[in-house]
Amino acid sequence: MNLMAVAAIYRFEMARTLRTVWGSIVSPVISTSLYFVVFGAAIGSRIEEVEGVEYGAFIVPGLIMLTVLMQSVSNASFGIYFPKFVGTIYELLSAPVSFLEVTAGYVLAAATKSLVIGLIILGTAFFFVDLRIEHPVAMLAFLVLTCISFSLLGFILGIWAKNFEQLQLVPLLLITPLVFLGGSFYSISMLPPFWQTVTFFNPVVYLISGFRWSFFGEADVAIGLSLIAIVAFTAICLAVIWWIFRTGWRLRK
């Protein structure tokens, strides 16, 4: 692998983030803090505990996942779409680099941004609730895997999109509903049996469940199943990206 090429793309993308710190980092943190106020204070005053965990603390993993998923998809999709928009994608395609190196540069940069935001939000959460992390290594591993897997999805969406409207459409109409319906603010066990069954078809459920387990040792889905789901999702995204670069689908449009 050409590590110099990967590092060059990575540095370029990270430099772009530093030029837009307010929109890239500060804004998501402020938005998530408002969620803590609304859900933690307003709703938390009516729901004291969920599965033995204070409600304000219970929603922390879901809030982190909500922001991390959205930021991973948005950062990666914009990162690869912009070269298509301005025409510099041709320079990238003609360079002596493989699809894996191009993907690694953009995806690692997007994942790094999302990881930093996720950790900042985690630190912010300690100011609002009494939080414990029973499995810190597993928590960090789940967070990193989630950032990478959804940055891969965002990379695919950035190639698929033909305009800025399409670029924003999928995160808004797909990712956000999946996260809200994936147990971010409630336990799956609180739903009626029929809706519990329906919810298990939502892939985000497995991510949030595994991430919440790393905090409290409680999960709606077996931790092994959550790991299998995220690894399988990552593998599918890599296979799709390989096919895109092999066929040139929408890379030049």
In the chain, domain spans: 3-247
Binned at pLDDT 50, 70 and 90, residue 115 comes out as very high
At 26 the pLDDT is 75
d(CA 161, CA 40): 36
* Contact yes or no for 85/161 (Cβ under 8 A): no
Percentage of the chain modeled with pLDDT above 90:
43
Binned at pLDDT 50, 70 and 90, residue 7 comes out as very high
Q: Is the pLDDT of residue 84 over 70?
A: yes
Burial group, residue 128, by CB count within 10 angstroms (0-12, 13-18, 19+): middle
Least confident of 23-37, 55-69, 147-161, 172-186: 23-37
At 55 the pLDDT is 84
At 227 the pLDDT is 92
End-to-end CA distance of the chain: 27
Mean pLDDT of the chain: 88
